[in-house]
Amino acid sequence: MKNEGLKDVHELQSYFVKRIEKYINSKGRKIIGWDEILEGGLAPEATVMSWRGTKGGLAATEQGHDVIMTPASHCYFNQYQGPRSEEPLAFNAFTPLSKVYEFDPIVKGMTEAQANHVLGAQGNLWSEYITTNEETDYMTFPRLAALSEVLWSTKESRSWESFTKRLESQFERYDYLGINYAKSAYLVTSTLTTNLKDKSINISLENEFPNPDIRYVLGDKNIDNKAIKYTDALDFSETTILKASLFKHDKPIGKSYIDTINIHKAFGKALTFKSTYSKDYQGDGPLSMANGIRGSKNFGDGHWQGWLEEDMEVVIDLEKPQPIKEVSIGTLQNLESGIYFPTAVTVSISDDGTTYEEIGKVERKFNIRTKKDIINFKIKFKETNTRYVKVIATNLKKAPNDAGAWLFVDELLVH
């Protein structure tokens, strides 16, 4: 850097790229580089792969360079395409089939001259979580079909509704070819909201397909042609099992959605924390742990509350003495993200909120073989009357690599 008069590493990178470009050009070839090559000055004839959004592509076309649009938001097939609890391990982001179909390589703000520099786009499948050809197929198809139609059709001719109808024929082709394609687009997903005033939970069901035929049953029933057609959001004020599925020709297709709605004695009750959860992982706020909505295996889904190197200690005010016989908390482990199960969970009770008596405790040693999972720590005891319940989840504190350990908790149930 001193010899070349380069002021920072960006100029050093540019120096290297320009130098290697001359060598590549001398062999009758041109270079293509990820959008980092814009930093420090672009090589004269380089084509840019815009992966960190579309700004890199926009900047490169302004300078008269060709670009290949490949933003991670729409073109990275190593990301999840369905609910994480139903999908194989993938990169920590979400790119469903419908989002791929929304992609347009010609971005807002481009002039006609700039648009002429867009050579096309590229789907990317990084393989850090992929170990077999079958997994490669699963992550690639049918998202590749969506990207192909986006790039090989005029914008005016594209229709998500038309695409989803034709996708059924495409799936038959995949079956014939022995391709292990993902059926994630069939999965029913839900959006839950809590009405603490009415002590109820509202659930909306949806699917990637337009105007889906979603049907559901309540309780421990099988989903069959007698299932109820879903038309509007559902309200629950009692603990219930909800099962739902996408239907075609009066038959369920794809994997069923199953959830247990828990309306329990701590639901909507006041919570007092000894140590406040992290500002980065606040869940739904102060009542998140008692709002009846359970977090998924995606620790960033907005429901989990997290503590770094600290124990979770919370007191629930049941508002009046009442009989209880079981307390449980949901906890998450995700080793790749530094999240660990607690080593112990302790439950104590009090009539005055000052003096507490321990009534139960469960312990669990750290197990590195459990990479990612959700466990309910249940503490059962002889039925007793109490108003205040204290729960302490003991943090591992330090991970095996000596980094700080995260503790993630959601939902706290009292029965």
Position 192 in a domain: yes
Q: Are 70 and 90 in contact (CB under 8 A)?
A: no
225 and 317 together in one domain = no
What does the block give as tokens for 369?
């073989």
**Residue 96 pLDDT greater than 90, yes or no:** yes
Residue 194 has pLDDT above 90, yes or no: no
pLDDT of residue 79: 96
Same domain, 254 and 334: no
The answer to whether the beta carbons of residues 291 and 284 sit under 8 Å apart is yes
Distance CA 378, CA 361 (A): 9
Residue finishing a domain among 233, 261, 289: 261
Cα torsion for 33, 38, 43, 49, to the nearest 10°?
30
Looking at the structure, do residues 277 and 371 belong to the same domain, yes or no? Answer: yes
What CATH number has the domain bearing residue 201? 2.60.40
Segment among 142-146, 148-152, 195-199, 215-219 with least mean pLDDT: 195-199
Q: What angle do CA 145, 122, 178 make, to 5 degrees?
A: 35
Q: Is residue 239 part of a domain?
A: yes
Average pLDDT over residues 11-39: 90
Query: What pLDDT was estimated at residue 276?
Result: 92
Domain boundary among 235, 261, 287: 261
Whether 42 is covered by a domain: the verdict is: no
Measured CA to CA, the distance from residue 44 to residue 63 in angstroms comes to: 10
Burial string for 227-243 (b: 16+ CB within 10 Å, else e) reads beebeeebebeeebebb
Please give the residue range of the domain that contains residue 394.
270-414
d(CA 174, CA 141): 9
Residue 277 pLDDT exceeds 80: yes
| Residues 275 and 401 reside in one and the same domain | yes
pLDDT at 294 over 90: no
Q: Are residues 394 and 290 in the same domain?
A: yes
Residue 202 resides in a domain:
yes
Judgement on whether residues 315 and 198 belong to the same structural domain of the protein = no
The 10 Å Cβ neighbour count of residue 361 is 14
In this structure, the answer to whether residues 282 and 392 fall within a common structural domain is yes
Q: Does 10 have pLDDT greater than 90? A: no
Higher pLDDT, 287 or 52: 52
Tell me: the pLDDT tens digits for 227-263? 999 999 999 988 889 999 999 889 998 889 998 888 8
CA distance 329 to 219: 23
Residue 40 has pLDDT above 80, yes or no: no
Model confidence at 196, pLDDT cuts 50, 70, 90, reads confident
Alpha-carbon distance 342 to 112, whole Å? 57
Please tell me the number of Cα atoms within 13 Å of 315 on its side-chain side: 18
51-55 long-range contacts (CB < 8 A, ≥24 apart) are: 51/75, 51/76, 51/124, 54/107
Return the percentage of the chain with pLDDT > 90, whole number. Answer: 70
Query: What DSSP string describes 37-84?
Result: GGTT---TTPEEEE-SSSHHHHHHHHTT--EEE--HHHHBTTEE-S-G
At 286 the pLDDT is 85
Q: Is residue 81 part of a domain?
A: no
- The pLDDT value recorded for residue 297 is 81
Decide if 39 is inside a domain: no
Give the residue among 156, 8, 164, 186 at the shortest CA–CA distance from 82.
Answer: 186
79: in domain: no
pLDDT band with cut points at 50, 70 and 90 for residue 285: confident
Query: Hey, what long-range contacts does 156-161 have (CB within 8 A, 24 or more apart)?
Result: 158/101, 160/98, 160/101, 160/210, 161/210
- 110-156 tens-digit pLDDT: 999 999 999 999 999 999 999 999 999 999 999 999 999 999 999 99
Q: What CATH code is carried by the domain that includes residue 365?
A: 2.60.120.260
The answer to whether residue 41 sits within a structural domain is no
Q: Please name which of 260, 226, 233, 230 lies closest in space to residue 244, comparing C-alpha atoms.
A: 230
Same domain, 274 and 404: yes
User: pLDDT grade, residue 92 (50/70/90)?
Assistant: confident
Asked whether 270 and 412 are in contact (CB, 8 A), the reply is no
Res 176: pLDDT: 97
Whether residue 378 contacts residue 281, with contact meaning beta carbons closer than 8 Å, is answered with no
Do 243 and 206 fall within a single domain? yes
pLDDT at 69 over 80: yes
At 312-363, the pLDDT tens digits run 999 999 999 999 999 999 999 998 889 999 999 999 999 999 999 999 999 9
Q: How many domains does the chain have?
A: 2
**Across 80-94, 153-167, 266-280, least confident range:** 80-94
For residue 372, pLDDT beyond 80: no
More confidently predicted of 85 and 274: 274
For residue 313, which of 345, 351, 360 has the smallest C-alpha distance? 345
Q: Please indicate, yes or no, whether residues 323 and 393 belong to a single structural domain of this protein.
A: yes
Q: Domain boundary at 213, 233, 261, which? A: 261
223 and 195 in a common domain: yes
Based on the domain organization, do 233 and 351 belong to the same domain?
A: no
